[in-house]
């Protein structure tokens, strides 16, 4: 990790500022190019200080666990700000309301709710991401969605200004949310229903079902495609003959066709090419155009001139 400071850093910053940081070490697909600037704030005040220093013109890409992101091999020109592990405060306001900063993992929030005997968030135990990312995409599973429990959110602007917004200011949809301010610093969740002592057992069930049906332990991003209305992306991909299909080091999982795994040698270009193949193939076979759930960011690799570099 190349730790240094330039005009994009501040003397008051206490976290890690890195340059040309390999994003393969920060994404669950374990591939992709470098980030021009990569900042891990020590805590929320460190983040505010940094954003105040660099100003509102700096383009920011927010990163949680990198579990829903494909960084192209050409890398990122934006400043990447990683919310974990610095923004991980988790506090109960009262018996029914818990506040979680954006870097808290979904699994930890689920376990915390179960430990306090509050029901509703058990489905988060199977989502490999953070609260910030879950809010941005309205993460859901097993019939539950995170925005069903949001009471208030806290957002932060590129210049460091913090705003508190009611959940009513947003319109949650399927794997997205619409609103004016979408850089989430944290949220307050209201959990009115008691778990009746069954929260931990439900979490164990969620984890067990996930292990049986998904390629856990492989380099993947989770579900690659959104489910089309009234159907499942995995079913369409499998029925179109793409289960196990490969492109370079990338392969459609033989366990769950809506997962693409990196066998350890895949480039981001391999994965993106396979995504494109699946979209085209499913559309040809079924007439359905799949939409990606994963966010594809960054620049393609610079092509080498024929005959090698001169």
Question: Do 110 and 174 share a structural domain?
Answer: yes
Picking from 82, 106, 133, the residue at the C-terminal end of a domain is 82
pTM listed for this prediction: 0.90
Angle in degrees, CA 175, 98, 178, rounded to 5: 25
Banded model confidence at residue 11, pLDDT cuts 50, 70, 90: low
Question: Do 196 and 94 share a structural domain?
Answer: yes
Question: Do 258 and 233 share a structural domain?
Answer: yes
Task: Write down the pLDDT at residue 303.
Answer: 67
Question: Do 126 and 45 share a structural domain?
Answer: no
Question: Do 94 and 78 share a structural domain?
Answer: no
Question: Do 144 and 110 share a structural domain?
Answer: yes
Distances (CA, A) of 146 to 97, 133, 138: 14, 11, 6
Task: Write down the pLDDT at residue 6.
Answer: 45
Picking from 82, 98, 127, the residue at the C-terminal end of a domain is 82
The domain in which residue 25 lies consists of 16-82
The answer to whether residue 195 sits within a structural domain is yes
Q: Measured between alpha carbons, how far is 4 from 191 in angstroms, rounded to an integer?
A: 43
List % helix, strand, coil for the chain (3-state, nearest 5): 25, 25, 45
Confirm whether 175 is a catalytic residue: yes
Q: Mind listing the pLDDT tens digit for each residue in 107-136? A: 999 999 999 999 999 999 999 999 999 999
Query: Does the pLDDT value for residue 302 go beyond 90?
Result: no
Residue 189: give its domain's CATH number. 3.30.465.10
Confirm whether 223 is a catalytic residue: yes
Q: Mind listing the pLDDT tens digit for each residue in 172-203? A: 999 999 999 999 999 999 999 999 999 999 99
The residue annotated as part of the active site, out of 101, 112, 272, 293, is 293
Picking from 167, 200, 233, the residue at the C-terminal end of a domain is 200
Answer for the pair 99, 164: CB distance below 8 angstroms, yes or no: no
Question: Do 196 and 96 share a structural domain?
Answer: yes
Phi, psi for 137 (deg, rounded to 5): -110, 10
The answer to whether residue 207 sits within a structural domain is no
The residue annotated as part of the active site, out of 223, 240, 247, 269, is 223
Count of domains observed in the chain: 3
The residue annotated as part of the active site, out of 175, 238, 247, 269, is 175
Residue 56: give its domain's CATH number. 3.30.43.10
């Amino acid at each position: 990790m190349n730790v240094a400071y330039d005009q994009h850093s501040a003397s008051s910053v206490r976290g890690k500022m890195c340059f040309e940081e390999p994003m393969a070490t920060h994404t669950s697909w374990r591939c992709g190019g470098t980030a021009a600037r990569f900042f891990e704030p020590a805590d929320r005040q460190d983040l505010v200080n940094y954003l105040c220093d660099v100003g509102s013109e700096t383009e920011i890409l927010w990163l949680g666990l990198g579990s829903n992101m494909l960084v192209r091999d050409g890398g990122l020109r934006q400043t990447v700000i990683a919310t974990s592990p610095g923004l991980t405060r988790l506090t109960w306001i009262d018996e029914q309301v818990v506040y979680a900063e954006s870097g808290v993992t979904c699994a930890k929030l689920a376990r915390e709710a179960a430990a306090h005997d509050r029901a509703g968030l058990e489905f988060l135990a199977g989502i490999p991401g953070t609260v910030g990312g879950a809010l941005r995409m309205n993460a859901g599973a097993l019939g539950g969605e995170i925005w069903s429990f949001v009471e208030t959110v806290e957002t932060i602007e590129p210049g460091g200004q913090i705003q508190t917004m009611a959940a009513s200011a947003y319109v949650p949809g399927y794997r997205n949310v619409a609103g004016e301010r979408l850089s989430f610093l944290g949220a307050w969740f209201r959990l009115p229903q008691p778990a009746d002592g069954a929260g931990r057992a439900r979490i164990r069930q969620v984890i067990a079902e996930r292990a049986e049906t998904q390629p856990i332990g492989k380099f993947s991003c989770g579900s690659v495609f959104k489910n089309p209305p009234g159907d499942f992306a995995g079913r369409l991909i499998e029925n179109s003959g793409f289960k196990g299909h490969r492109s370079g080091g990338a392969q459609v999982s033989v366990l769950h066709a809506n997962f693409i795994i990196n066998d350890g040698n895949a480039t981001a270009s391999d994965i993106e090419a396979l995504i494109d193949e699946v979209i085209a193939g499913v559309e040809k076979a079924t007439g359905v155009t799949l939409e990606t759930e994963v966010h594809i960011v960054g620049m393609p690799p610079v092509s080498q001139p024929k005959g090698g570099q001169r």
